[in-house]
Amino acid sequence: MSTLRPAYSDAFEPEAIRQLHPTLPLDGITPDWAWGESTGRGVKVAVIDSGIEADHPAVGGNVSGYVAIREGADGLEYDSRPHDDVYGHGTACAGIIRSLAPECELYSVRVLGAALSGRAVVFAAGLRWAIEHGMDVCNLSLGTPKKDYYGLLHELADLAYFRNVMLVTAANNQPVPSFPSVYASVVSVAATEDKDPYRYYFNPSPPVEFGAPGIDVRVAWRDGGWLNSTGNSFAAPHISGLIARMLAKHPHLTVFQVKTILRALAANVAQPAPDTV
């Protein structure tokens, strides 16, 4: 009998099998277990957007790293010098994340311009940069409906999944599929009218899986300002912040475990009676 092992089976040789951390049964998961007393410390969160205004009060002057990506004459250019927010959108997302996970490490990955528009190839480059630079969570309050980029972004979403990078994506504000929010490996989010930042919902009929506050919410904006705004863009960072807190407390969690825990703690999931726990 041949001893040649099938491809990929080497991970399951006796000496290669890794011991993993157990998690509670679903009915035993509580918000306190998931993220209670966590501040997100040590978790790297990339805000792939229009930049972050670091000195905005909602951000607290603390951005751990920067990269601004644009197309140049000789291809893509990467600038790692500190930059500002050219629109306000990235600061809004960063402020929401910071409000939930005040000690996470924010990274500004600027791929959008002053008109809050950008090329999908630059967006893809920003996502690849975040994955390759060891981010734990990527907040993607942007996407593209262009089918030409379906394959490239799907490849990056799979790469993030296998490297255990959480991609939190906002659904399109228009009834049009956008990428990567429709992929199964991401955490897709749309807006609700709730104001409680810890109250979110699970949708059993994806592609959009979760609903979080994003309708008429107060958000940080450029030049130290604030405004009330609506959009799925502002729902996604609520989930990013909760995931950052979760990972700071349970760094061994995988993407599918995080999604399962989020589902278990959603406001529309019936909780067991005390005498059945």
Please tell me the predicted confidence (pLDDT) of residue 21: 76
Instruction: Point out the residues of the chain with pLDDT beneath 70.
Output: 1-3, 7-9, 270-277
Phi/psi at 132 (5° precision):
-75, -15
Partnered with residue 48 across adjacent β-strands are 109
List, for residues 238-253, the tens digit of each pLDDT value. Answer: 999 999 999 999 999 9
Please tell me the predicted confidence (pLDDT) of residue 6: 79
Structure tokens at 52: 């972050």
What pTM value is reported for the model?
0.93
Domain spans of the chain?
65-85+100-145+158-220+241-268
Please tell me the predicted confidence (pLDDT) of residue 23: 76
Distance from C-alpha of 93 to C-alpha of 256, rounded to nearest angstrom: 24
Beta strands (DSSP E) in 12-127 are 44-49, 65-72, 75-79, 105-110
Cα 217 from chain centre: 19
DSSP assignment of 124-187 equals HHHHHHHHHTT-SEEEE---B--GGGHHHHHHHHHHHHHTT-EEEEEPPSSSS--BTTTSTTSE
Give 123's Cβ-side CA count (13 Å radius): 27
**CATH topology for 65-85+100-145+158-220+241-268?**
Rossmann fold (3.40.50)
